Amino acid sequence: MSKKIYVIDPERCTGCRLCEIVCSVKHMGISNPAKSAIHIIKWDQEGFYLPMHCQHCEDAPCMAICPKKAISRDEVLDRVVIDYDLCIGCKLCVSACPFGAMGYDPDSKRVFKCDLCDGDPQCVRFCDMKAVDYVETSHHSLQRMRESSERYSEVMRKHCGA
């Protein structure tokens, strides 16, 4: 069975931020973008909106830095997960993530990240534009990922000199 991958398409994102609301409601029971595992990074002048969340990196810096080995890879869904029985809340993973994709919730005193909604991503379900999508790995989906990365690099070079 081919694996599914989470694909981002900034060209389709309208910046409505519904995904942030959906994610926070599902995981935290509250409508609060600060408690969402996905964030929309906006370049308004450019008309460019980038949905950003955990990339479930092969060589994940959060996993490497965790002193309690509380972060691991779930091979079934190809995702990076937190074991809260092991986590001590030191937040090293929050600072290690290059995408700012790991959050900290001061109310529950827990770090949090995208868990792909256990294979049924709710942000995808509610995004009518399909700016975020969860699809079978294919030439087309990989091409969409590549185009998204190229567009992101282009905007970063223009605005941040990256």
Q: By CB under 6 A, how many residues form the interface with ligand SF4?
A: 27
Residue whose structure tokens are 């809340």: 89
Report how far Cα 147 is from the mean position of its chain's Cα atoms.
17
Query: Residue with structure tokens 């937040």?
Result: 91
122 pairs with which residues across the strands?
none
Q: Is 114 in the site for ligand SF4 (CB under 6 A)?
A: yes
The one among 34, 46, 47, 89 contacting ligand SF4 by CB under 6 A: 89
Return the range that interacts with ligand SF4 (CB under 6 A); candidates 7-15, 39-47, 112-120, 151-159. 112-120
Q: Which of 7, 50, 101, 111 binds ligand SF4 (CB under 6 A)?
A: 111
Query: 81: which strand partners?
Result: 72
Is residue 143 within 8 A of residue 135, CB to CB? The reply is no
- Token pair of 16 as six digits: 């409505």
Interaction site with ligand SF4 (CB under 6 A): 22-23, 26, 37-38, 53, 65-66, 68, 70-71, 82, 87-93, 111, 114-117, 121-123
